[in-house]
């Protein structure tokens, strides 16, 4: 069967602690990025340095009401008791969440783009977006071409990371010319392919979108 969703309530519990087989300990802090503007309600998740402004990344087939919605990141601070303390904390974004309704999630489903069919996935397979610049994001499909300032290592998106010595964030970045926003963050260990999940409430309403960057160890150590 396709890869199942993990316990994302645990991911977004401040102080949640997990341990790697190497002895490294991770402690979760939940950090807000701010309120993301979704003028059309069509949600995109991608590596913004690859897709923003290119018009090539399809939104998910499940949309939401237009509005402004909170984005936060589960940031893991990693330490190893067997190693000397570091002056710079080792931080990785374990997951990023776009909150539509601040209600308990009772079911999860993969967020899909047009043409994707979860029933065609094999064991532990998933649909995810590719990362080649160590960064992930959420933004509205209508905002895709609204960042003319962002190209390569120029513009407000690059500046947000550069000004903080490329710490993983999260960052809410606003285009100075259009006012559109993108919520960006480091992508766990870096490049790869990462799934996004849709959490639904007991009544079936969309509660959140969560991108998992495969940092947190589950109880079985996967």
- Kindly give the confidence (pLDDT) of every residue in the chain, 222 residues in length, as a single tens digit, with 9 standing for 90 and above: 789 999 999 999 999 999 998 889 999 999 999 999 999 999 999 999 888 877 678 999 999 999 999 999 999 999 988 888 888 889 999 999 999 999 999 999 999 999 999 999 999 999 999 999 999 999 999 988 777 666 666 778 888 888 888 899 999 999 888 899 999 999 999 999 999 999 999 999 999 999 999 999 765 444
Examine residue 103 and state whether it is found in any structural domain, yes or no.
Answer: yes
Q: What is the pLDDT of residue 86?
A: 80
Phi and psi at 111, nearest 5°, equal -80, 125
CA separation (Å) from 194 to 7, 103, 116, 190? 16, 24, 15, 10
Q: How far apart are CA 83 and CA 177, in angstroms?
A: 47
* Domain residue limits at 172: 31-69+96-212
- Using left for φ > 0, alpha for ψ between -120 and 50, and beta otherwise, residue 39 falls in alpha
Q: What is the pLDDT of residue 221?
A: 44
Coil, helix or strand at residue 161: helix
Examine residue 6 and state whether it is found in any structural domain, yes or no.
Answer: no
Examine residue 80 and state whether it is found in any structural domain, yes or no.
Answer: no
Closest-CA residue to 141 (of 199, 180, 175): 180
Pairing relation of β-strands 196-200 and 206-212? antiparallel
Examine residue 19 and state whether it is found in any structural domain, yes or no.
Answer: no
Examine residue 10 and state whether it is found in any structural domain, yes or no.
Answer: no
Examine residue 14 and state whether it is found in any structural domain, yes or no.
Answer: no
DSSP for 46-83? E-HHHHTTTS-PPPBS----SEEEEEEEEEEEEE-TTS
Examine residue 16 and state whether it is found in any structural domain, yes or no.
Answer: no
**DSSP code of 11?**
H
Examine residue 219 and state whether it is found in any structural domain, yes or no.
Answer: no
Count of domains forming the chain: 1
Sheet harboring 196-200: ordered strands across? Answer: 17-19, 25-38, 67-79, 90-99, 206-212, 196-200, 107-110
CB 218 within 8 A of CB 6: yes
DSSP for 175-221? -TTT--EEEEEE-TTSSEEE-EEEEE-TTS-EEEEEEE-S-SPPTT-
Q: What is the pLDDT of residue 70?
A: 98
Q: What is the pLDDT of residue 152?
A: 63
Q: What is the pLDDT of residue 151?
A: 67
CB 137 within 8 A of CB 183: yes
């Amino acid at each position: 069967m396709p890869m199942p969703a993990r316990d994302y309530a645990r991911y977004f519990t401040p102080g949640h602690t997990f341990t790697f087989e190497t002895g490294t300990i991770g402690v979760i802090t939940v950090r807000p990025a701010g309120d993301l503007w979704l003028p059309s309600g069509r949600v995109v998740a991608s590596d913004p340095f690859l897709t923003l402004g290119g018009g090539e990344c399809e939104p998910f087939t499940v949309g939401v009401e237009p509005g402004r919605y909170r984005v936060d990141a589960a940031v893991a601070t990693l330490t190893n008791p067997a190693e000397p303390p570091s002056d710079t904390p080792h931080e990785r974004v374990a997951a990023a969440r776009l909150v539509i309704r601040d209600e308990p999630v009772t079911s999860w489903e993969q967020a899909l783009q047009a043409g994707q069919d979860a029933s065609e996935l094999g064991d532990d397979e998933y649909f995810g977006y590719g990362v080649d610049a160590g960064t992930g994001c959420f933004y509205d499909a209508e905002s895709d071409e609204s960042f003319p300032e962002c190209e390569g290592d120029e513009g407000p998106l690059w500046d947000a990371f550069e000004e903080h010595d490329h710490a993983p964030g999260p960052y809410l970045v606003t285009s100075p010319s259009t006012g559109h926003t993108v919520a960006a963050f480091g992508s766990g260990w870096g490049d790869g392919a990462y799934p996004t999940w849709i959490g639904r409430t007991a009544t079936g309403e969309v509660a959140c979108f969560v991108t998992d960057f495969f940092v947190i160890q589950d109880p079985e150590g996967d």
